[in-house]
Amino acid sequence: MMSRYAGVSLRVEGLSKRFGGVTAVQGVSFSIPTGAIVAIIGPNGAGKTTLFNLISGFHRPDQGHVYFDGKEITALAPEKIASAGIVRTFQIARLFNQITVLENVLVGFHLRTWGGVVSALVGGKSLQQQEHGIREEARELLSMVALDGVSESLAGNLTGGQQRLLEIARALAARPKLLMLDEPAAGLNAPETRQLLALIRCIRERGVTVLLVEHDMTLVMSVANQIHVLNFGERIASGSPEEIQTNPAVIEAYLGSGGSKRGSAGDV
């Protein structure tokens, strides 16, 4: 008999997290189909990044469970979750600024190779045995994010938009099954945002499920198959982009009952 969760990549059940007297996430549940692009949106302070941290192991939930590929990962450390196939980026790109763009991508391979981060940087024997193939794949990833022309530049010399793209390339080096993008369009200009939109679609075409937190509603509505909306830590709506745009609870969350603007409601 087929499992009721067949075809589900990630399943979140009743996640809650409190910090002192503040409830950041309250009883959030949802599932992500394998191969989908799913977005989490909501006004500032809605609990989106806390939810990301709970899924990726950077916070331990007070209540609830997280399942990935049918196995519970709630209590696993971030590196174990990454090894299981969930890789994430951050609101602020976390790169090694004093090494090259190419070397940053090579670091991303440490989840897959016998060596660790140090081996990726200095080239141990185990890495040397795989070096040619790894470097070729790293260059392919840089080409995918349009950074192949600056592969030998220091990562710290890239623009903010280029650093975000580099972080995505490094995440892809780990061959994730689920890629979590935390506000990937933050700080990007219009051409860079269009490039990001095409990149997310390309990632999905490579067989990677994508979960993103994002404030750019034009990007979200263009790329997501399904959207979950948080407000004050609770999931208040789920649906297709068309359903979310006309959902009264979502409009209320962004505008507020008094009409004071909390977010970009005109784009919702």
Q: Is the dihedral of CA 244, 34, 186, 12 positive or negative?
A: positive
Q: What is the CATH number of the domain that holds 79?
A: 3.40.50.300
Total of domains in the chain: 2
Q: Is residue 90 part of a domain?
A: no
Are 164 and 201 within one domain? Answer: no
Quick one: which of 127, 133, 102 has its CA closest to 115? 127
Are 78 and 197 within one domain? Answer: yes
Q: Is residue 130 part of a domain?
A: yes
Q: Is residue 40 part of a domain?
A: yes
User: Among the three residues 136, 151, 174, which one is the final residue of a domain in this structure?
Assistant: 174
User: Among the three residues 174, 197, 216, which one is the final residue of a domain in this structure?
Assistant: 174
Tokens standing for 16? Answer: 């809650």
The predicted pLDDT at position 7 comes to 81
The predicted pLDDT at position 133 comes to 83
Tokens standing for 18? Answer: 């409190």
Are 135 and 67 within one domain? Answer: no
Q: Is residue 126 part of a domain?
A: yes
Domain of residue 258, residue span? 1-85+176-268
Rg (CA), the chain: 19
- pTM value is 0.85
Per-residue pLDDT of the chain (268 residues; tens, 9 = 90+): 334 444 879 999 999 999 999 999 999 999 999 999 999 999 999 999 999 999 999 999 999 999 999 999 999 999 999 999 999 998 777 899 999 999 999 988 876 654 444 555 555 555 566 677 888 999 999 999 999 999 999 999 999 889 999 999 999 999 999 999 999 998 888 988 999 999 999 999 999 999 999 999 999 999 999 999 999 999 999 999 999 999 999 999 887 644 344 444 334 4
